[in-house]
Amino acid sequence: MTATATPAKAEVKTRATPAERRATVIGTVMVLLAVFVFWVFGLGLESGVRSTFNLSLPGERFQNLVWEVNAQWLSFVVAAIMAFLGGLVLRRSHVKWTNVALAIGLGLFALGFLTWAAAEGSFSLVGMLRSTVLLSVPVTLGALSGLMCERVAVINIAIEGQLLTAAFVGTILGSAWGIWAGLIGAMVTGALLGAVLAVLSIRYRIDQIIAGVVINIFALGLTSFLARRVLSQAPDLNSPGRFTSIKIPILGDIPVIGSMFFDHNIFVYAMFLLIIALHFGLFYTRWGLRSRSVGEHPKAADTVGINVYRVRYRNVILGGVIAGFGGAFLTLAQVSRFEENLTAGIGFIGLAAMIFGRWRPLGVLGAGLVFGFARALQQKLGILGTPIPSEFLSMTPYIVTIIVVAGVVGRARPPAADGQPYIKD
């Protein structure tokens, strides 16, 4: 009788998926941020110090709305919630909720930071939220321009140049013939630069990134030269006026929300309408289906009778129109004059917002609001006189851009044929 040995079961080691590894990193970061909030924002304040947040603006129907809190205890509560969310993410039992937990955690961190900055003082919270929406407009419109192009597999690095040139033309025409002429001229300028990008990328199949960089350099050089030679000699051409705010009745009187969303100029309202229209168009219409098919598999789209070249030309030019609209906002709604290098990297931040939004209009809106908040935070902290050096405050939007693209986005998949020229057989 022979004895048979039963082999021991080998221990199976499962390798963590990229989503699980990302959850581990994000959970760890959230716990560390919770410790930072507890130590710096909580223990760093004296007991009993209060922060006051103003929830109304001058001229609103509901005045003297304030939220006064104990700064130290609020910091402790924020730290506890962040640590709890970080622990949930570290468990990796619900990986799909990682982004939700991260968004809540970052929002709580911002609240703790503002509470610390406003200690023993007052801070216009509703004013900052309103500025967030306003400052998100050029970033969001730039991101939508890139989305229109990349959905049909054309990379648009030229957003910066389109915004800058459109802002310059809008200033000249707006000063000479009125702000509506400036708006139309800016959109036409964006369309022309979009057509240039389309011809270089689609017809001549030039490397799309190089083509975009060339347009950016050309736009910066041309507008700087003309600003020195024309606008400095004729200041009347550098005062185009400004689109004023239009308050929506009833909705504009809602506390906090009314000032944020229903008391703005036409650019803000147009941005929200454009987001809705593009979301519906891309995912519920034949145009959107054709655009997405051209971006994912142009040869298959061509096989079923879709004119790949026509779809790409159309979308890239429309993307230029949207960028031109965003450029008009800079000089016809925000600063009411043109300055050299006025965009200061907004176009590239728009590209980051497009990636952060995962090439979806609603995601782009959320990303634009994040970057708008970073820019608004930079401005408001300068007013509060925090001990943070002004140089670091100026870096805030770009630091957020690096963090978002490098770590927060995770694995974002662009259209499969993105950046690849199409050669018809």
Q: Give CA–CA dist 233/74, Å, rounded.
A: 55
- pTM score, two decimals? 0.90
* Structural domains for the chain: 18-120 (no CATH), 130-408 (1.10.3470.10)
Cβ pair 166, 329 in contact under 8 A: no
Tokens of residue 375, six digits: 């820019």
Q: Give CA–CA dist 251/255, Å, rounded.
A: 9
Paired sense of beta strands 122-124 and 246-247, if any: unpaired
Q: Give CA–CA dist 204/245, Å, rounded.
A: 44
Query: What residue spans of 54-151 are helical by DSSP H?
Result: 71-91, 98-117, 125-150
- Average the pLDDT over 128-142 and give the result: 94
Cβ pair 398, 133 in contact under 8 A: no
| pLDDT interval class at 1 (50, 70, 90) | very low
pLDDT at residue 365 greater than cutoff 90:
yes
| pLDDT interval class at 179 (50, 70, 90) | very high
Distances (CA, A) of 405 to 105, 156, 225, 402: 18, 17, 33, 5
**CB within 8 Å of 118: residues ≥ 6 apart:** 51, 52, 53, 71, 384
What residues are paired with 119 via a beta bridge? 51
Q: pLDDT tens, 96-119? A: 677 788 888 888 988 898 888 888
Look at residues 141, 131, 133 and name the one whose alpha carbon lies nearest to residue 379: 131
Q: pLDDT tens, 34-63? A: 999 999 889 888 888 898 888 887 777 777
The residue that leads in pLDDT, 21 or 78, is: 78
